[in-house]
Amino acid sequence: MNIDLAPWREMAVSAVEQSLYAHHPGLAERFGGRGRKACREDIQHHLDYLSGALLADSSAVFVDYAIWLKSVLDNRSVPSSHLVESLTLLDEFLCAHLPAAESAQVSAVISAANAALARNDLPIPYLHARVAELPDAPHYREAAVSGNQSRALGLISHSMQEGNTLSEASVRMVQPAMYAIGRLWQENRITVAQEHLATAISQSVLARAYLQADFAAPTGQKALLACVAANQHNLGLRMLADAFETAGWDSLYLGADVPTADLLRQVDASSPDLLVLSLSLPGHLAVARGAMEQLRAELGSRCPQIWVGGLATLMGNQVWRSLKADGWAADALHALEQVATR
């Protein structure tokens, strides 16, 4: 269901913030001005993820966020007791301002999250465990987090010498290691610096592993790949670009955070056979849908097929369908299977 929460955003944030501070006068004393700023940012994030869940018609998207946020707060000894209260206040505000049918949808999503928090549910499994990780994936993770680039490269090279393709090594070793690294950050067991180090090492290792890859004969087909505006997660997109190259395609890789207007111009100029859009956070779902609408409206029959993918699409099969994309894949290997049957 497409419910536009944007017109209520500022009012909702102020209303929830004021109610929370009125109910808990100690908050102002304890956390000062910075606390208020963080509180407003949290409510804005609630709204972003809620919009994503409504757009994808999936309360699981918001339930997963609530469980994730509680774990981030708990692991940093920040009290999460106000989380349920702030979600309830947000629900009350939106129900008072939205038409009945829309407020019923919003309430259903927020109630599902609050119920999961009350039960202390575990995270919802994503669709991404499609292929088993290689036995060296945990060793790769340790090497990347500890800054041991030569060991990380050695593990990937060895795996390719043993017969794994570049995409197999990427998806079954680097990808699960990066997911585990995200989890370690979430649990406050590694720093942001260590996560950045591991990402930089993975980028470098993948670039060098590319030189060891086998390539199919050119197919004459061209893919243009971009992270939607505001998506900074470009490592998975790089894996896709390289996977398409190994399958004989030309890849035009635009990387992170591509503004929609510029994407449109590049698609128009390059005339790719396929546009690959990557989205990582539920807030990127609306950006992707807006971009696809604009591309189709402005390019008409010249608009290529558009596939979406990335973490934000891995919550369930209906998520990508609700975006009205032409295709989707869970990972680079899955994309290659589909390309082979095109």
- How far is the C-alpha of 291 from the C-alpha of 281, rounded, in Å? 16
Indicate the residue among 93 and 244 with the shorter CB distance to ligand B12.
244
285 neighbors 52 (Cβ within 8 angstroms) = yes
Region near ligand B12 per CB under 6 A, out of 4-12, 231-239, 262-270, 285-293: 231-239
180 neighbors 143 (Cβ within 8 angstroms) = no
Q: Which of 66, 277, 286, 336 binds ligand B12 (CB under 6 A)?
A: 277
- How far is the C-alpha of 288 from the C-alpha of 325, rounded, in Å? 9
In DSSP notation, 74-142 reads HTTT---HHHHHHHHHHHHHHHHHS-HHHHHHHHHHHHHHHHHHHHTPPPPPPTTTTSPPPTTHHHHHH
Indicate the residue among 79 and 123 with the shorter CB distance to ligand B12.
123
Per-residue string for binding with ligand B12, 149-188, x by CB under 6 A?
Answer: ----------------------x---x--xx-xxx-xx--
Report helix, strand or coil for 290: helix
Indicate the residue among 12 and 325 with the shorter CB distance to ligand B12.
325
Report helix, strand or coil for 216: coil
Region near ligand B12 per CB under 6 A, out of 135-143, 216-224, 261-269, 274-282: 274-282
Region near ligand B12 per CB under 6 A, out of 81-89, 96-104, 141-149, 308-316: 308-316
Q: Which of 15, 47, 229, 240 binds ligand B12 (CB under 6 A)?
A: 240
- How far is the C-alpha of 195 from the C-alpha of 63, rounded, in Å? 25
99 neighbors 107 (Cβ within 8 angstroms) = no
15 neighbors 93 (Cβ within 8 angstroms) = yes
Per-residue string for binding with ligand B12, 60-99, x by CB under 6 A?
Answer: -----x--x-------------------------------
Q: Which of 311, 323, 336, 339 binds ligand B12 (CB under 6 A)?
A: 311
Q: If binding is defined by CB under 6 A, does position 199 make contact with ligand B12?
A: yes
Catalog residues that contact ligand B12 under the rule CB under 6 A: 65, 68, 171, 175, 178-179, 181-183, 185-186, 195, 199, 230-237, 239-240, 276-278, 280-281, 307-311, 328-329, 331-332, 335
